[in-house]
Every structure is written in C-alpha cells, then in structure tokens.
Amino acid sequence: MASRMLSDLNPEAFEKAIAFTEVVEDAGLDVLIYCTWRSEREQAVLYRRGRPLSEIEKKAIELSERWARPDLGELLMSVGPQHEPRIVTNAGPGQSLHQYHVAFDCVPIREGKPVWGDSEAQDQMLWQQLGALGEQVGLEWAGRWHNFREMPHFQLPGIDWRALILGIDGGVP
C-alpha cells in the first residue's frame, strides 16, 4: 500500500507539503494527502489498471529497451492482471515521481467527504483553489498540465523522471 506519511517525502518536498497543508488550512479548506511514496510494484499494479495486455507488453518493452530497465519491464509483466474498468495513471514503474519521494496526491474534503470529481462548477472551483495554493508554496500542480490533467497530483518542480530512471545524478534535489 502506498504511503500517506509526509515523512516519506524528501526534505524539500516534505517542507513544501507542510507549507501546503498550512496555507490550505489558513484558506479554510480541508485536504487529505492520501499518497506520498509509492513502490515500483505498486506503480506497476496501477499502470496495468484498465489497460489491455498488448499495451502493457508495449510498456514493458519500452522500460526494458528505451530506459535500460529490464527489471521494471519484468516487474510490470509479473504483477498479474488488474481488473479495473478505467486507466488511473500514465506512468509505468520507474516513471512516477512518487517513487522518488518528491510528489504527493491529495483530495479536498467538503462536508466530511472527498471531492474526487471536477465536472461540477463548484468542484472545479475547489480544485482550482487547491491548485493555486500548492503553486503558492512552490509546488507544481498537475491540474495545469497540457497533455493530461491529474487534479490530485502535486510535485517538486523541475524534476524529470527520465534522469531518475536512468540513475543520472542531479535528478532529485
């Protein structure tokens, strides 16, 4: 199971997560941070959800050949089928900043219940407010990404998983 502990974040991400929770509270909002660190195995399980085997095999080959990580390709193939109806992540094992202790996922709480969606205007405004508060403390919010949006995801800016998966120095501050 993925960690919820802020202490599993690296020191800079930890400080920004604390600052985030403080500005959220000061704004009169409630938030639940539900994922900080996630293992490679957990990421592999998440990646498989909602995907056909052919797509999973393609990702395993990419991890093995393009990223020189046959261990991650084998891991992806070994975690078994995930019988979920929808895709929950675009990141395979080794491709998520959660695995490098520099990202967290959270959800706003309204009237004691998590607000997962953003299709209603009221919910969209809540997510935009939360995202702006994260950016205020120096986090990158995936709700502003152009290729796809991931409303719950915040991370340290300027870190590239491509350098990290290859073990290149300087990837994590």
Residue 59 DSSP label: H
Structural domains of the chain, count: 2
Q: Are 24 and 69 part of one and the same domain?
A: no
Tokens 């299709």 belong to residue: 119
Residue 152 pLDDT grade (very low, low, confident, very high; cuts 50, 70, 90)? very high
Q: Can you give the pLDDT at residue 85?
A: 87
**Distance from C-alpha of 167 to C-alpha of 137, rounded to nearest angstrom:** 28
**Distance from C-alpha of 171 to C-alpha of 100, rounded to nearest angstrom:** 9
Q: Are 68 and 147 part of one and the same domain?
A: no
What pLDDT, in 10s, does the model give residues 53-110? 999 999 999 999 999 999 999 999 999 888 888 998 999 999 999 999 999 999 999 9
* 131's tokens: 């995202």
Q: Are 84 and 158 part of one and the same domain?
A: no
Please indicate, yes or no, whether the overall pTM of this predicted structure exceeds 0.75. Answer: yes
Average pLDDT over residues 127-147: 96
Range of the domain at 106: 6-38+98-165
Q: Of 95, 120, 139, which residue sits at a domain end? A: 95
